[in-house]
Amino acid sequence: MSHEIIIALVTVLALAITIISARSFKRSGNRKVLLVTITFALFFVKGLVLSYGVLTGEMDFSTLLLYSSVLDLFILMSLFASIIIRK
């Protein structure tokens, strides 16, 4: 599979899981579910950034890697927060 297709699949999956997770948060009001929703939304944003960079060619590899790494940092912090937060 081409890398464009894989990036698109991950982006669409992240969007779908974000929507499902947001609905779950709306029903439960649980802060942990909110943090997980934010995490999936960040994965979606990362997919958009990667898709834009790969498909338009306007960003070089080092810029894409920098943006991806920054988003990974926020994803990790969000996951960690969802583990340590109390209800």
The closest alpha carbon to 45, from 6, 84, 7, 85, belongs to 7
Classified as helix, coil or strand, 85 is coil
Interatomic CA distance for residues 26 and 30, integer angstroms: 8
Going residue by residue through the chain, which has 87 residues, state the pLDDT in tens, using 9 for 90 and above: 688 899 899 999 999 999 999 999 999 999 999 999 999 999 999 999 999 998 888 889 999 999 999 999 999 999 999 999 876
pLDDT value for 63: 92
pLDDT value for 87: 65
Domain ranges of the chain: 3-84
pLDDT value for 1: 63
Q: What is the pTM of this model?
A: 0.88
Run of H or E including 28: helix 3-28
